[in-house]
Amino acid sequence: MTRSNLSSSNVSLPFVPELDEPARRALQAEIAAAHELEVRFRDTASGGGATPLLTVIPAGVFEMGSTEQEFGHRPSEGPVHYQQIAEPFALGVYPVTAEEFAEFTRATDWRWRSDLITTQGRHPVINIRHGEAEAYCEWLSEQTGQ
């Protein structure tokens, strides 16, 4: 099973701020098990290349934003409001690494601009534009069928 199976569940939407850490972890494990996944998993790429480590994010309601009293508050972060995640999904645990992005560059003949500093190996990929990140995500979806 893969993350595409993370769809509607029989679990009612919890109010996440009221859950303590063990309860949040239990909910995450329950959702993963319901979809025959581990809490953290990797999809399988058709070419066998590296794929990002993903984690299951349960559906639920949470508080989003910050108050003016919070350190580092920016006006665009207020007011605090409730936000709902209607369906569980999977999210990358870490930033995409240069190694993972290199799979994309080899498969698509995408080339770095010569004026950019790049990273290698397990370091986060840097100096890519929004459109390039979207192209990577589209390619990864094709590779994993997700």
**Domain range for 39:** 3-92
* One domain, residues 87 and 120: no
Shared-domain flag, residues 18 and 81: yes
Do 49 and 118 fall into the same domain? no
Shared domain for 73 and 107, answered yes or no, is no
My answer on whether 76 and 114 are in the same domain is no
Q: Are residues 52 and 10 in the same domain?
A: yes
Q: Is 10 left (phi over 0), alpha (psi -120 to 50) or beta?
A: alpha
- Domain match, 26 and 81 both: yes
What total number of domains does the chain contain? Answer: 2
pLDDT per residue as tens, the chain (146 positions):
334 444 444 446 888 889 999 999 999 999 999 999 999 999 888 877 768 999 999 999 999 999 999 999 999 999 999 999 999 999 999 999 998 888 888 889 888 777 778 888 889 999 988 999 999 999 999 999 88
| Distance, CA of 50 to CA of 102 (rounded, Å) | 9
